[in-house]
Structure 1
Amino acid sequence: MTTSSLRLSALYRYPLKSCAGEALERAQVHQEGIVGDRRLMLARPDGRFITARTHPRLELMQVRLGERTVVLRFPGHQDIELVRADFALAPFATEVWGDRFEALTTSQEADAWCSEVLGEAVQLLCIGERSPRYRQSIDQRVGFADGYPLLLIGQGSLADLNARLAHSQGTSEGKPHIMAQFRPNLVVAGSDAFAEDGWQRLRIGEVELGVAEPCSRCAMITVDPATGTFLPGKEPLKTLATYRRGEKGKVLFGQNLVVLKEGRLALGDEVEILA
């Protein structure tokens, strides 16, 4: 089934879990997701991972991946450039949402810089060329992402949410919520609100994707990416909860994807719904 009106309108990766998104024009996608996506993560000394759910200021951290270097930036702090060849790459026991595995250490310099930014002791971990984290439920390896290689959201779904918020507030002058709050990898334009709920398999560029399950949302979508602080009134989670609750009571927005065929994709690519 070809739907030529559907296009890939935005493409993002998040090199470090919970950091600011990096807008891309094109990307290589492999089974673990977009190359470079969530290959770094911060963890406490005991291995517990850290995200913007408890440390919203993390969304102000920008990470730029080079072929040989990684550059970290944070407001009010001097940039730090890390040389990949200098990473210690020592096994470090950690976990992500119950998945226990061994990540790799980077450097004392990186740990000290990140600890200073967050105001507590943390370690900067990397996942390595091939993730050691295997998720049996999807029969795939995944990096430091919450649970799936990719997240897709339709632009029409966000427009619907903002329209409902404006209606409930009795004004169209309120500040609309932005896609960055929901941290997708892929944004599709041209579809009706929540059309992605009915998709099972799709092709974008060279990449074929399977829809695994809806994405359940939490307080993280209430973080303002521009300030690294929580928005007032628990919005937009509060409004989404009035009409986007699933059977188990979770608030659903966006679709988690698995990669069926690796390849390249780019902004403007046609999105073809295969099933």
Structure 2
Amino acid sequence: MTVARLTGITYYPVKGCAGTELSEAELTSTGLRHDRTYAIADEKGDLRWQWGDPGLALITPESAEGELTLRAPGREPVRADSADVHDWLTDVLGAPSTLVRSPDGNSGRLHLVSRASLDALNHRIAERGGTALPMNRFRPNLVVDGWDAPHTEDGAARLTIAGTELAFTEDTIRCAITMVDQRTGRRSGPEPLRTLADYRRADGGGVAFGAYFEVRRAGRVAVGDEVVVGSRTSPAAASRSA
């Protein structure tokens, strides 16, 4: 039997902006440390999101020694605590923008997607003549490879990774952000929502892809760690429209 392993760890210091890939990370009771600590607000104080501002995908936050720096193509980097950061964001996004503390942070959740789920989706997209999508379209915190069945994450009530334990909370209901090309910062629909609508409709509406977990036992994880399904939810949840 294939051993499932953690093959990706990504956190998003600024909500809606590009993620930072890690080789190892600390999982705390509130999720990945520093995940979605900041957000970007418009002139009304509403938080910007990628479908409305796809250029957010081109802003890359980098954290080092407790300092957060923002980078974007063709711009000089700026520190998050600089007096110039708001003008910098306004220039990059082309509209008044302010860096703020995210009101909800990461909500104590980890977003997990398996490679098997993405492979199954891309197979369906290819059958209708479309192009395969990269994992970053779904902006997961954790990526697992090695599960034979797609959407195993849906039915995993408990997961253990190294010394940590995660508990399933809910399916991830996908929105229009999945149609933003994370490389170019441009809208690029209709996939994946068009194809997901064929076979991943959620009972409460929308389409589901990936799952949210909460940290029940904190600790450190690293790329390459084995991922073990400790217990499962109902068979219906595990096999729903997969």
TM-score normalised over the length of structure 2 = 0.90
Aligned equivalents of 1:81, 1:47: Cα separation in 2: 21
Shift of 1:201: 0.9
- Extract structure 1 runs of 4+ deviating beyond 6 A: none
Aligned equivalents of 1:241, 1:148: Cα separation in 2: 28
Aligned equivalents of 1:22, 1:12: Cα separation in 2: 5
Give 2:203's match in structure 1, choosing from 247, 265, 273.
247
Tell me, yes or no, if structure 1 residue 217 matches structure 2 residue 174. Answer: yes
Aligned to 1:38: 36
Aligned equivalents of 1:254, 1:205: Cα separation in 2: 21
What does residue range 11-160 of structure 1 map to in structure 2 within 5 Å? 11-82=9-80, 87=81, 108-126=83-101, 143=105, 145=106, 147-160=107-120
Contact 1:148 1:256 in 2 (8 A): no
Aligned to 1:236: 192
CA deviation string 1:214-239 (max 9, x = no partner)? 0000110011111001114x111110
Unpaired runs of 5+ residues, structure 1, are: 88-106, 128-132, 134-141
> What amino acid is the match of 1:154?
S
Call closer, same or farther: CA 1:121–1:252 in 2, change over 3 Å.
Answer: same
Aligned to 1:189: 145
- When structure 1 is superposed on structure 2, of 148-157 and 216-225 the one drifting more is 148-157
TM-score normalised over the length of structure 1 = 0.79
Aligned equivalents of 1:182, 1:274: Cα separation in 2: 25
Contact 2:171 2:209 in 1 (8 A): yes
Provide the identity percentage.
37
Shift of 1:207: 1.5
Aligned equivalents of 2:139, 2:4: Cα separation in 1: 20
Aligned to 2:4: 6
Query: Alignment partner of 1:254: what SS?
Result: strand
Aligned to 2:235: none
Call closer, same or farther: CA 1:247–1:148 in 2, change over 3 Å.
Answer: farther
Count residues with an aligned counterpart: 230
Unpaired runs of 5+ residues, structure 2, are: 232-242
Shift of 1:4: 6.8
Call closer, same or farther: CA 1:111–1:78 in 2, change over 3 Å.
Answer: same
Contact 2:125 2:131 in 1 (8 A): no
> What amino acid is the match of 2:101?
C
Shift of 1:126: 2.6
Aligned equivalents of 2:213, 2:66: Cα separation in 1: 29
